[in-house]
Structure 1
Amino acid sequence: MPNRPIYITDLDHTFLRTDLSISSFSTEIWNAKSKDAILTVATARSFQKTHDFLDKLHLDAPMILLDGTMIVSPDKKLIDLKTINKALGDAIVEVGLTFDIDPFIIGLRDMQLNETFLYPRKLNEHQKFVLKGYKDDPRLQFNPENKTMEMNLKIVYFGDYATLKPLTEALKKTFEDAIECKLSPEKYSDGYFLTILHPEGDKAHAVQKVMEHMERDAADVTVFGDSVNDIGMFKLAGTSVAVSNALEEVKALADVVLPHSNDEDGVAKYLESR
């Protein structure tokens, strides 16, 4: 039997609609396609959030989570993990303080993959907006001292471009290849966000790791995305597909630019046509 085709999609602004729903059409197409293809996700979201979104979808392949820092099977078996240690994390936060901005910190508190979401005492308007979306989230923990954890998955700054662009440059100059920095527009608001990861904790490295785990070649995979954190896997995959609402720099790298957006079930319509 020939190898089944592999499809890996981003969630926010790609497969998820802007209201964070998955349409019945997308659900139907995904589950039908999973009978003769392998489908999974590469997302900035955590295991629990991803699991909640995809509870009606058939999954039998590793999921790439938290921008690529974690690869987990659908039954929560850890396949790969890339973290920033506490010493490096605290040093990153110190650089941020010179720009008068504090971060959110997402890390693991144990090897059962239980996460903690640390938020600081001082919040700008962009951070307050983001935090509203995590109301009553059991992972939330107040972090007035701005200290990082032993296993930090990602450190994230939300703010305006004028603050985050020079911070990005300062972090790259200070830490060079010890970290990966991704500055992107925040599509749910009018600000930007800067994500700091382990240098091998991005989606591109994660896609390669998933392909090795499945004993397949990266040329066999089709990926879908819309934003800066998808660019690495676009360059790696055999076929890259951008939804119509993707950033222009993402579209420029895509093999296929869809005529439909995430709110028009662009990914599902592509899958239906294959």
Structure 2
Amino acid sequence: MTQKLIALDLDGTTLNNEAQLSKKTVATIKAAIKAGHVVSIVTGRPNRLSQNFYDQLGLSSPMINFNGSLGHMPHQHWQYEYQYTFDRGIVLDLLQHQQEFNIQMIAAEGKHLFLAHQTESTQVGFFPAVLTHEQQLSPATLTQNPTSMTIAVDRPLQKRLQSYIEERFGSSVDVAPWGGPNSVLEIGAKGVQKAVGVERLAHYYHIDRQNVIAFGDEHNDKEMIEFAGRGVAMNNATDQLKALADDVTEHNNDQDGMAEYLSKALKLA
């Protein structure tokens, strides 16, 4: 048996529509690990919102968060841990332009960083409805460079804000709108995306690129799907991702599509 590296996106892929792991998914991943394969979470989510799934799946591999910008091993020291950051001044500049672009919320995050400033409560599930005093983002509290910045903005102004950031800071950051119903822009270090993390994992485990299987559903999975020897788009993935992928799962994320595909691909009992 050739050892495979399995890279798993979370939302819309490994998680069902309730953002939970099904029994079948947990059992399949544990069987894959038992069979000698490496399974790693590669997600846009911050580590604070992924570690519970990491633990439920019984993983001991490194986890990739913030779309490739953070690679670390939960609960232990990993000598190859890395984190890409960008200048905190970019966050402070956008704080000053909050009214102009009708920004509802700005969050700056990193492995041990979560600060946010909101002008109104947002419906973006990733963020606390109420911020504690310690979580308030300001020039005084943001003392380190962030790994990721997330901005909830009025949809009519989203494109304009994106252009503003790209024109002023485009040489050091990338800006990507979220898929789905929320009008959110995500900002990360220039040129860093999920394939950066997957490539590091493959190198660490001495697994050839052709033995990487990656699963995803959205535009932020594009580079990872292209990098993998077998890039698999979910049945519920965007049409663009399906067009790039080597394969598409028969069922969607709410029907254990990833687990079912993996079971067959790895011939798990």
Q: TM-score w.r.t. structure 2 length?
A: 0.86
Give 2:88's aligned residue: 86
Query: How do 1:73-112 and structure 2 match up within 5 A?
Result: 73-78=73-78, 79-94=81-96, 98-108=100-110
Give 2:239's aligned residue: 248
Letter in 2 for 1:65: N
Aligned to 1:177, what secondary structure does the other structure show?
A: coil
2:119 to 114, 122, 127: 122
Q: 1:236 to 1:149 in 2, by over 3 A?
A: farther
Letter in 1 for 2:246: D
Give 1:171's aligned residue: 165
Whole-angstrom CA distance in 2 between matches of 1:147 and 1:253: 42
Q: 1:67 to 1:193 in 2, by over 3 A?
A: same
Cα deviation code 1:190-237 (max 9, x no counterpart): 332210001143212122222222233333211111112111212222
Task: Return the offset for 1:145.
Answer: 6.3
Whole-angstrom CA distance in 1 between matches of 2:193 and 2:71: 11
Cα deviation code 1:89-145 (max 9, x no counterpart): 32354466542315432324xxxx4332x222413xxx6112686357889712366
Whole-angstrom CA distance in 2 between matches of 1:207 and 1:198: 17
2:10 is aligned with 1:11: yes
Gaps of 5+ in 2: none
Whole-angstrom CA distance in 2 between matches of 1:65 and 1:46: 5
Aligned residue pairs total 262
CA contact (8 A) 2:102 2:154 kept: no
Gaps of 5+ in 1: none
Identity of aligned residues (%): 24
Query: How do 1:56-205 and structure 2 match up within 5 A?
Result: 56-78=56-78, 79-94=81-96, 98-108=100-110, 113-116=111-114, 118-123=115-120, 128-130=122-124, 134-135=128-129, 141-143=135-137, 148-186=142-180, 190-205=181-196
1:221 to 187, 192, 212: 212
Aligned to 1:129, what secondary structure does the other structure show?
A: coil
Runs of 4+ in 1 over 4 A off after TM superposition: 92-97, 135-140, 144-149
Whole-angstrom CA distance in 1 between matches of 2:2 and 2:130: 43
CA contact (8 A) 1:96 1:167 kept: no
Letter in 1 for 2:86: I
CA contact (8 A) 1:222 1:241 kept: yes
